[in-house]
Amino acid sequence: MPLFNSQDILVIGAGVLGLCTAAELARRGHAVTVVDPGCLNASGVAAGMIAPAMESAVDDLSLDHAELLRRARDAWSDFAAATGVRLDRDLAEWRGGNVEVLAARLAALGFEHEFDREAGRLTTHEDWKVEPAQALAALGQGVCWVEGRATSLTREGAHWRVETTAGPVDVDQVVLATGASEAMAGLPEDAARLLGLIAPIRGQIGLVRERLTDHVLRGPGAYVAPMGEGCVIGATMEPGERSLTPDLERCAQMLDAAWAVMGQARRPLEITWRAGVRGATPDGLPMAGTVGQGLHLALGPRRNGWLLGPLVAGVVADEVEGRSSKEPALAPRRFI
């Protein structure tokens, strides 16, 4: 017998895209259940950046892509108020490296900023952040939970049966928010092919008890951002890597870059290094939306999961309810 029968929705995965989608569906009155093994995931191994300006400048994005990231940032205002996520709208700063080039890109894309050429300092209030631990806890309120790992799913008439390590679950609709995990057994061919396009990218960060900065500092090779009573140093981008064991040599290089960004002399720090694996699509944008009857994807945000969470959630929720996506650039079937 199944754990329960639901006339509504099962979200597989409790990272930022999964929990944002679950929270949005719950806000709309749906009965939502999340299945997840409960361990630390990539969304928890993050600084919680909601940074359309700096991300657009660093990656030299097109105007359309940058505008999508700006819409994603703007979606956080109402979403955070509704879900209890605390938003930090303090200053974000870039120091050193190709700062003039980045300033020119921000200007071309229409992001508010200030550029001190003499000091080599670029600042903006367009970039926000959240505390991942607080945000994940807030997003998880108001939904049911199954602590376990989903292993397979099958279509049975008008319903899906999802097998989990805690037992089977029968539901009308399923949202796959499984990060960079491989496709589970039973997926329809198109959905399995789409999941096969998602490449893993490892990111490593360091949690520091000391408060090294009061706002986000970014520069060549590292960023330093406030986190709780301390701060976080990040972050690597390592395509193809899946290991969750921190690479101490790369971490040391990142720490050296962080000291350079801060303009401070090196000194001993108490640091806990962590690694998480994110998923990325071939074009760097997430897959958000329907891929089959009662089956939806919320996957592949690259390093912008926190930025894109509410936008992806709104797209998936609309399609769950039978409405067309407001963001066709995110449609999974663009790759089919």
218-252 confidence digits (pLDDT tens): 999 999 999 999 999 999 999 999 999 999 999 99
Domain ranges, residue 305: 9-43+136-198+282-335
Q: How many domains does the structure of the chain reveal?
A: 1
Whether residue 108 has pLDDT greater than 90: yes
CA 40 to chain CA mean position, Å: 14
What's the pLDDT score for residue 35? Answer: 97
Helices (H), the chain: 16-27, 52-58, 63-83, 99-109, 132-139, 189-196, 248-262, 305-320
Cis amide bond preceding 235, omega within 30: yes
- The CATH number given to whatever domain includes residue 323 is 3.50.50.60
Q: Are 299 and 309 in contact (CB under 8 A)?
A: no
Rounded distance, CA 286 to CA 308, Å? 8
Residue 219 falls inside a structural domain: no
Residue 248, domain member (yes or no): no
Q: For residue 287, tell me if it sits in a domain.
A: yes
Over residues 244-284, the pLDDT tens digits come to 999 999 999 999 999 999 999 999 999 999 999 999 999 99
Q: What is the largest CA-CA distance in the chain?
A: 70
* 8 burial type by CB count under 10 A (0-12 exposed, 13-18 middle, 19+ buried): middle
Q: Quick one: pLDDT band at residue 142, thresholds 50, 70, 90? A: confident
pLDDT at 141 > cutoff 70:
yes
Give the per-residue pLDDT at 336: 85
Q: Does some domain include residue 314? A: yes
Query: What mean pLDDT is reported for the chain?
Result: 95
Identity of residue 165 = T
